[in-house]
Structure 1
Amino acid sequence: MERLEHWFGAEERWERVPTSADRRQDVHWAIFAFAVAALGLEFIRMGGGLTDEAFGVGAQYVAVVSGAALVAFRRIAPLTVMLLAAAHFIVAGELMPVVMASLPMQLLAFFLFFSGVAWARDRRGALFATLAVLLVMAIWLAWWFALGSGYSQMQETLSEEGVERYGFLSPVVALILYTILVNIIYFGFAIALGLVSWRGALERHRSEEQHRTIQEQNFRLRDQAVVAERLRIARELHDVVAHHVSVMGVQAAAARRVLDRDLDAARESLAVIEKSSRSAVGQMRDLLGTLRNGELEAGSDDTDQDPRSPQPTLDDLPALAAEAGTPTCAVTVELVESEPGAAAHVPAPVQLSAYRVVQEALANVRRHSTARNASAVVRVDLQTQQVEVEVVDDGTARVGTSGSGLGLLGMRERAQHLGGGVECGPRTAHPGWRVRVWFPLDGRAVEDGQTLVPTRA
């Protein structure tokens, strides 16, 4: 029984529901079935095949119309239609055997049995209804052969035609077994085709569900990519603005102090401010240009648009050190390689993140520290497959300054995105502050982020 339930899909929660177009189509099929069955009935009548029927033309057309009308409801109430088709098959077969034995009426009944199995929404009910139909048909055949006129009719027909015995079975027994075989094929194929149709519809439904799921996942991934890109741009903008604005603020203060007594020093500070502002504007233009990148790639006619300048790399650290230094704080930046050319093996995203970490850490020193010296060391180790950034200073927290925390949040996000980590806090053996960030050399992201130490600014 469990195997039968599995074949009929009793464990499935999906229901095959017809659409309004399906229901309209069934009405057309019902009209077509009536036309074909009526045409076949008239051909039989013209050939003299209905002369022995007990009922007249009206009753014969009632049998045709009632059978064809069931087609219009085959997908609305499939189990009810299948049971009514079985009753119609038996009643019409008893009262008007020639009408029911015609090929159009036989195919009509086959189609209704098939539809019941193919469209039943209650699959366990479909199994029991099918078993009930088969049982009733088997009882009807047995009654027709054993108690009805079927056996005697066969004997009389074979005796009149003088049919002789050709095998180990008598002609009557052979015809009975042939009739049983025809019914097994008839009902068996109707049930089998119905199950194939239902299974096919189930597989199409699953494929559509999988397609929708894949589409939803693609939409979610696209949205996540957009959010990640926005976060990246926000980090980049924060780093650029914080660095260059702090440089301009320090240099403007220095120029103001020496303006009356040292014009050359003031002029040099103003030149640094000019250079830093131009650099900030250029980098912000590049970053904001990424928001229009899709439009430009789609065929923008803006031929005057300059191509985006390359993102900073480890090779730009010396220029960063020269720019970050102030009259009150000396800055050194050093790149340490485990072997010559090791930095060339660092992927561009890791190089950019290392550069931004150094930039943000030095900006924090200028904004929030009394340090006179600050140093940054970037280590590239091919043996451990790691890139390490360490920025230290010798100052203390400046009174009255407090950051938003976005700078260190950006460091954490960069490190976590690339599979690394962050350590920030006061130096233990010396005065000052220490920032240490590390990345795997391949920049491979991990799912579990590092546990980070709460830090200043």
Structure 2
Amino acid sequence: MSSTSQRVLTWLGVDDEWERPRPPIGRQDLVLAASVEAVSLLALELVRSAGGFEHTDGPVWAQWLAVSTGAALLLGRRRWPLVVASLAALHMFVAGVTMPQVMGQLSLQIVYFVALLSGVAYARDRRAMVVVIGTILLFMFAWITWQFAVGSAAQEMVDEFEDAERVGAFAPIPATVAMTLLVNVIYFGGAIVGGGVAWRAARQRLRLQEQAATIAAQEGRLREQAVVDERLRIARELHDVVAHGVSAMGIQAGAARRVLDRDPDAARTALSRVEEASRDALTQMRRLLGTLRAGSVDGGAEGGPDAADGGTGARTPEAGVDDLPELVAQTSRQGLAVRLDVVEEQSSAASRLPRGIGLAIYRTVQEALTNVRRHSTADAVSVVVRVDEAAAYAEVEVVDNGRPRHGTSGSGLGQLGIRERAATHNGKVDIGPRVTGGYRVRVRYPLAAS
């Protein structure tokens, strides 16, 4: 098969797996067929009244029947396209042999054209379409050739142009044959090309609709995933805030209870630290609620962001590396010796960390210190934050010198939160006991991924 034939078949969709939906006979088909029949019968009678059928021997009812059956074919042009195209070709042949002047009416020519175009445009089996349409074309051009070769058309031309003078560039008979062939090539070729264009346009529309539906479905899934991710983030934030605050309050309250009778001043100090821890926890919860309510339309309404932030209308910035000294100092006041080292390979590199990584480092340290107070016998903790912009990483490491305290196993949500935060920023987590003693929490975040 030549490359040209292959391109034509490909354009017609022979190897395409898509099948155009086959619609049932609908209102538009009924309206089209009824309109064509009405116009065709009117045109038929107008031509008859003008004397155009003087050489037609068929009775009037046969002429009406030919026009009506031709229009009726349009009812199934979308439902059974190849059957209608074949019947239209048969109709053209029978009417052309018995009543050529009726077959030549513009209305019936339009019917045949639309039927052939619909066969190409709506056929589901594209290989069968090529076979059927190709057979129709071969049959029609063979019929035309037969008419010129041995049929009455040849004799009519001879009689008509026998004594005619040559007035153009071509002889009358060859010019008539060439004109007839050219008109039929344009007629049948236009129907095939128009049907192919309509089929490809329908396929493109359906693919665009499927793509739009896929995009809409993906958008919905992404929106749902964003909601789930935000809920997980909020859950981690609330866990960190509540666990840290309640742990601190529990430790100081227990200390106050033990020394309440023998050392009122120490109890008073411990209770003041409980108050401080509760105030800090409330402040961080207000900060989180302010983030959630930032999209509120009526910001000044009761319970809105202004209320959450003490009426200032401004959200408190999220915690970061710069807030670690205060966190360490607060933990040290609760009886745990904590040393903080921030190692910056470049000047002020920690302050330039992305906000998300800064918050993740802060929450990691906060969770690690809370776990040390609640589940370890340690009395000293080392917190080291390393930031190297040239090597493109930020690392936080929390190491204590204790052993696990029996009967204080937690839910594991704290470490899960650390791992989830790290995964959000493509970080690597190393959590577990050390061979030399103590427990280590280390997370490294790649800066380039942020």
Q: Place the TM-score, normalised by the shorter chain, in its bin.
A: over 0.9
Q: Is 1:58 paired with 2:61?
A: yes
Q: Is 1:129 paired with 2:132?
A: yes
Q: Is 1:185 paired with 2:186?
A: yes
User: 1:208-357 maps to which residues of 2 (within 5 A)?
Assistant: 208-288=209-289, 290-294=291-295, 296-297=296-297, 301-302=301-302, 304-306=306-308, 307=313, 308-357=315-364
Contact 1:367/1:401 (<8 A) preserved? yes
Q: Which runs of 5+ in 1 are unaligned?
A: 445-457
Per-residue deviation, 1:211: 1.3
- 2:12 pairs, out of 8, 16, 22, with 8
Question: Structure 1: how far apart are the matches of 2:53 and 2:196?
Answer: 36
Partner of residue 119, structure 2: 116
- 2:44 pairs, out of 41, 44, 55, with 41
Deviation >4 Å, runs of 4+: 166-169, 288-294, 297-304
User: What's the TM-score, normalizing by structure 1?
Assistant: 0.91
Give the superposed CA RMSD: 2.0
Per-residue deviation, 1:266: 0.9
The secondary structure found in structure 2 opposite 1:305 is: helix
Per-residue deviation, 1:374: 1.3
- 1:437 pairs, out of 413, 418, 443, with 443
The secondary structure found in structure 1 opposite 2:317 is: coil
Instruction: Give the number of aligned pairs.
Output: 439
- 2:365 pairs, out of 346, 350, 358, with 358
What's the CA shift string for 1:211-250, capped at 9, x where partnerless?
Answer: 1121122122212211211111111111111111111111
Question: Structure 2: how far apart are the matches of 1:172 and 1:140?
Answer: 18
Per-residue deviation, 1:99: 1.0
Per-residue deviation, 1:416: 1.7
Q: Which runs of 5+ in 2 are unaligned?
A: none
Contact 1:250/1:326 (<8 A) preserved? no
Going from structure 1 to structure 2, the CA distance change for 1:442 and 1:273 (only over 3 Å counts) comes to: farther
Residue type at the aligned position of 2:230 = E
The secondary structure found in structure 1 opposite 2:148 is: helix
User: What's the TM-score, normalizing by structure 2?
Assistant: 0.92
Q: Is 1:375 paired with 2:382?
A: yes
Q: Is 1:422 paired with 2:426?
A: no
Contact 1:358/1:376 (<8 A) preserved? yes
Residue type at the aligned position of 1:48 = G
Partner of residue 85, structure 2: 82
Residue type at the aligned position of 2:143 = W
Residue type at the aligned position of 1:156 = D
Question: Structure 1: how far apart are the matches of 2:254 and 2:340?
Answer: 24
Residue type at the aligned position of 1:145 = F
Question: Structure 2: how far apart are the matches of 1:126 and 1:27?
Answer: 24
- 2:152 pairs, out of 149, 153, 174, with 149
The secondary structure found in structure 2 opposite 1:89 is: helix
The secondary structure found in structure 2 opposite 1:437 is: strand
Q: Is 1:403 paired with 2:410?
A: yes
Residue type at the aligned position of 1:225 = A
Question: Structure 2: how far apart are the matches of 1:299 and 1:43?
Answer: 78
The secondary structure found in structure 1 opposite 2:18 is: coil
Residue type at the aligned position of 1:435 = V
Going from structure 1 to structure 2, the CA distance change for 1:305 and 1:443 (only over 3 Å counts) comes to: farther
Contact 1:86/1:133 (<8 A) preserved? yes
Residue type at the aligned position of 1:84 = L
Residue type at the aligned position of 1:55 = G
Question: Structure 2: how far apart are the matches of 1:143 and 1:443?
Answer: 77
